[in-house]
Structures are given as structure tokens and as C-alpha cells.
Amino acid sequence: MYIENHMDVLGMGRRQLQPWSIAGGSISYMEPIFPIRISDYTRTHHLLPWRPNVGFENTEVIPLATKSISSYALDASNKMSTRPLKFPNLITGYQRNPVHASQAALYTRYTPHEWFQKQVKYYNEADSQRHYSERMRNDALRVIRDAEEKIQHGQYDTSRRLGERINDITFWRNEVAAELERMLHEIERLHDCRSVLEKAARDIEGPLRIAEECLYHREARKGTELVHDESEKCLLREVQNLRTNQKKLEACLDKCKDQLRNCRASQNQLELDLKNKESALGIDAVCHQLNNHTQGLQYYSGIEKYDPCVSEQETWADAVNRIVQRSQTERNKSCQLRTTAESLVNKVAQEMWNTWSNTNNALTHRSSELLEAKNKLQQHLQKVQQEIFGVEKNLELMRKAIADKSYATKVAHTRMEARMHRPDMELCRDYAYASLQKEIDEINHQLERMHKALKELENQHQKLLRTRTMLEHDLALKIDAIYIDKEKVCGLRRAYPVNALFRF
């Protein structure tokens, strides 16, 4: 009966335990409330502090409800009146009736054997309850010691695990911070490389514009000077080379921008992971410093059943390792891209300088050729002019000679006409007549030769005039070409326009 009452009281205490609450963002704990009578608690438990708060206690005897018995009548032989009997209160009781007490004693007495058996029963029950209670106390002490030992071991193991976790987080935090610093330096260098590529792509516009303008100026040449010479070939190669290099620089610039975006994405991941690790490190450091005497400790109902974790120890390490490895990969790609960009800029600069020098050399050589041709043309023009003067002089002499021969012709014709007037037989074909015929024939023949020579001289004079005109025209073209190549073209190419960027 004591055990049942004890369990009932414990059950009542458990039923009165308040449930866990998570309302308002924090979880509060309500201490168990047990129904304890204040008077008995003050009288008993203050005197015996080692006794538990719950248990079996005889606190009050509740009297039975009094009820009149109307149907009960005593036997007539006992000579008792039929007054209603009242059951006495065992504590206070009523005034006893001696007649009733003596009469009832005959019927309410127990036998000595029953009394002895009752005492033995009570003794045995007391011994069994005492042994059971002692065993329960020993079990409770053992449970207390085991619980204390296990809880201390669990708390120590948790603190040790927290310390290991703090070491792991600190190690990866340092790795992420170092990688973030290296990534920031790499992003800065890649940004400078992008600026260099942009400036190089812009600076190509100057030489390209100059080369195209040189081609445009050389298109102003006239006549046979519009020759597809080595200078024009070099200019065309230079334009093609500049456009190709500009496309290469723009492609490398696009790769640099893409790599810069990837590096910044890795930087964002590193910064976010570093921030998370700093927060986690602070929380774990605070948790590692907590102990049983720390203030502000609270109950949180059912928190052990709630699992908000999104990763495990291995996946966590793999995730941060992937972030660091991705950053390292992006840094290596950025370093290779910077090396490629630097070599490309140097190669482009060298090719531009080579084509620039080759074109200048070709223009210089062409200018020297034009100058030499001009000098030779001037010499030939001078000789042709002198020859023209000589031919004109000969023409005058020839015309004068032909005019002079007219007198001899007239003399011969006059003689022959006069001799035709001889009379009769005197009109003889003598040697004088034959000589006059021969003389006239010779004069005509010589005049014919002289006219032919005069015509040839006139034709040659015209040819010389045309040659002089041709030489003068060609000399003018040469002078114009020399002016274009030497003044306009070479004047634009006296200084290399991107010396500030490309260094040799």
C-alpha cells in the first residue's frame, strides 16, 4: 500500500509537469509542481531535509459520515432500548455509553492468535519494506553516480569535440582567409592586365589609321606611278597585321573579362564562407566556454529532436575544400591568362614594330628609286632638249639649203628653155643638152633627198617634242610621287605612335 501511494503521488507529480514551450523565439522551462501541504511540509521536511518531497504520509484521518440506523434494534434478552447507535469518531469520538461498550465487548474482541498473526504480519511487512527501501536507496545512489559519471564524460567529450571543431574551423578559416588575400592580389593584377589590353587595343587605332591614310595618299599618284610596289605591299601587310592583332587583343580582353568575373565569383564565395566560419567560430568558442556554473543557461524543449544541419563533417570539409580548390584553379587560370596576355602584347608590339620598320624601309627605298629616276629623267630631258635645239637648227639649214637650190634650178630651167628656141638644125641634142638634163635631174634628185631629209628631220623633231613632253609628264609624276611618299606618307610615319605602351 505504501508503494502504491508513493507511485500515485509520483504519477500526480508527473501529470502536473508543464510541457516545453517554444513560443516567442525562446524555450522556457517550468519546474514541476507537487501538491504538498504547507503545514506538514513545515513540520516534517524542515526537520528532516533528507526526506523526499513526495511519499506516503498520514496527514489526516477523515471521519466517517454519521448516519442514524433506524432499523437496528437490540435483542430483548439484552434488555437494551432500541435507540439508534452512532459510530464513534476514532479521534474525537462522542461521549461513550458504558452499557453499549460492555455489551459490544462481547462481540468485537479478537483472539490472541489473530492478534499475534497480525503483529507478525506487520513485522514481516516492515522488514520487507525496509529491505526493499534499502535496495531502492542503493539503486538510486548507483543511478546517481552512473548518471553523474556519464553526464560528466559526455560533457567532457562534447567539450573535446568542440575544441577539435574549433581547431578545424580555425584551420579552414585561415586557409580561406589566405586564399582570399591571394585572390584579391590576383584580381588586382588581372585588372591591371585588362587595362593594359584595353590600352593596347586602343593604341592600335593610331598605327592603323596612319597606315590606311598612307594608302589613301598613295592612291593620289597618277599614271604609271600607280604601281603596286613593295611599299604598297608592306602597307597592306601592315594594315592586315594591325587588324589581326587588334582582334587577338580584343579576344584576349574578352577572356580576361570572363576570367575576372570568375575570380570575383570565387572571391564572393570565399568572403561568404569566411564570414560564415567567423560566425561559427564565435558560436563554437562561446559554447566551448560554457559550464554548469555559467549564468543564463536555459531549457529548450525538444531541441535535441530538431535537426537543422545541412551537412556532415566530411561533406563540410569537402565543401570548403572545393571552394578553396576552385579559387586556386581560377587563380592559376588567371596567372596563365596574364602570362598569355603579356606575351601577346609583346608579340603584337614586336610585329607592329617590324611591319612599321619594313614599311618605312620600303618607302625609303621607293623614295630613293623615285629620286634616282627623277634625276635620270632630268638628264634625259636635258639631252632631248639639246637634241631638239640641234634638230631645229638643222631644219633651218635644210630649209635654207632647199631654198638656195631653187636658184640653180631656175638657171638650169632657163638655159634649157632658152635653147629650145634655137632654129632648125641648131636644135641639136648636143652634149650641153644632155648636161642640162643631167644637171636638172641631179638637182631634182638632190632636192628630193633634201625634202626627204627635211621631212625626216621634222618627224624626228616631232618625236623629240613628244619625248620631251613625255619626259616632262613623267618627271612631273615622279615629282608628285616623291612628294607623296616623302612628304605626306613618310611625314606621317616619322614617329612610332605607341612608344608609351610598347617598350623594346
pLDDT of residue 15: 39
* pLDDT value of residue 222: 86
pLDDT value of residue 100: 54
pLDDT of 31: 40
Residues 213, 220: Cα–Cα separation, whole Å: 11
How many Cα atoms within 13 Å fall on the side-chain side of residue 369?
13
Alpha carbon distance 417, 440 (integer Å): 12
Residue 38 is placed in which grid cell? 504547507
**371 in helix, strand or coil?**
helix
Give the list of residues 6+ apart from residue 67 with CB closer than 8 angstroms, or none.
Answer: 87
Q: Which three cell numbers stand for residue 248?
A: 587577338
Report the alpha-carbon distance of residue 283 to residue 280 in Å, rounded. Answer: 5
pLDDT at 106: 52
Helix axes 313-419, 205-218, angle to 10 degrees: 10
What pLDDT score was predicted for residue 226? Answer: 86
94 CB neighbour count, 10 Å cutoff: 10
Report pLDDT for 255: 94
Distance CA 344, CA 348 (A): 6
* N residues, the chain: 504
Interatomic CA distance for residues 367 and 361, integer angstroms: 10
Asked whether the beta carbons of 74 and 81 are under 8 A apart, the reply is yes
Write down the pLDDT at residue 284: 92
**Of the candidates 81, 86, 111, the residue with the CA atom closest to the CA atom of residue 99:** 81
Longest Cα–Cα distance of the chain, Å, equals 251
Cα dihedral 23, 25, 27, 33 sign: negative
Cα-based torsion angle of the residue sequence 385, 391, 397, 401 in order, rounded to the nearest 10 degrees: -170
Low-confidence ranges of the chain (pLDDT < 70): 1-108, 497-504
The rounded distance, in Å, linking the Cα atoms of 85 and 374 is 168
The pLDDT score that the predictor gives to residue 469 is 92
